[in-house]
Amino acid sequence: MKLTIKKIESVLKSLDVDVFDQFYFDDKETLYGFLSYKLVIHFEVDCPDAIYISFHVNSEPEYTSYIIMNLYEKLGSKGINIMTMESFAYDPEGNFLTGEEAYKAFEEETHMEIISNFMHRQAQMKYLMDMKGYRA
């Protein structure tokens, strides 16, 4: 079985993967990719016997195993190799990060979000405690 863009689109749609963008990664149109919030899939147009999949660092193990098992069932059983690549994340500037950099960026972002939420709650509590009530 030869992989085509339409075939991958239909498989992702059957798995309820919301693809928000798809495009060629290079000017020669040899590498095509599908972007979703939790995963990135790409394949070589000239050699359509394998797909490469990367999951976001925050993806749940259940989700990743669900996607991989279903991809294998729908494509792997027909001779398509499914290769799992490094995890990915985006830094605050929107740069695409993979591997350890992705995990570090995600941990920093999570840490800053926790601190921000704590400070916001503390400010709300101070406001409520210092506020004087008025008679109606």
Domain tally, the chain: 1
Distance (Å, whole) CA 111 – CA 123: 19
User: What tokens appear for 119 in the block?
Assistant: 């400070």
Distance (Å, whole) CA 123 – CA 8: 49
Domain with 51, as residue range(s), is 5-130
Residue 136 lies in a domain: no
Looking at residue 10, its pLDDT comes to 84
pLDDT in tens, 15-27: 888 888 888 877 7
Looking at residue 91, its pLDDT comes to 81
pTM of the predicted structure, to 2 decimals? 0.73
Residue 80 lies in a domain: yes
Each as own residue / partner, the long-range contacts of residues 54-63 (CB below 8 Å, 24 or more positions apart, any chain) are 54/84, 54/85, 54/86, 54/87, 54/88, 54/98, 55/84, 55/87, 55/88, 56/87, 56/88, 56/89, 57/87, 57/88, 57/89, 57/102, 57/103, 57/106, 58/89, 58/106, 59/87, 63/38
Residue 90 lies in a domain: yes
User: What tokens appear for 9 in the block?
Assistant: 């689109």
Distance (Å, whole) CA 56 – CA 48: 24
Residue 55 lies in a domain: yes
Looking at residue 1, its pLDDT comes to 57
Residue 135 lies in a domain: no
pLDDT in tens, 36-56: 888 988 888 777 788 889 998
Distance (Å, whole) CA 49 – CA 129: 65
pLDDT (mean) for 6-13:
84
Indicate if the pLDDT at residue 14 is higher than 90: no
Residue 49 lies in a domain: yes
CA atoms within 13 A on the CB side of 66: 12
pLDDT (mean) for 64-81:
85
Indicate if the pLDDT at residue 129 is higher than 90: no
pLDDT (mean) for 111-115:
92
Looking at residue 117, its pLDDT comes to 93
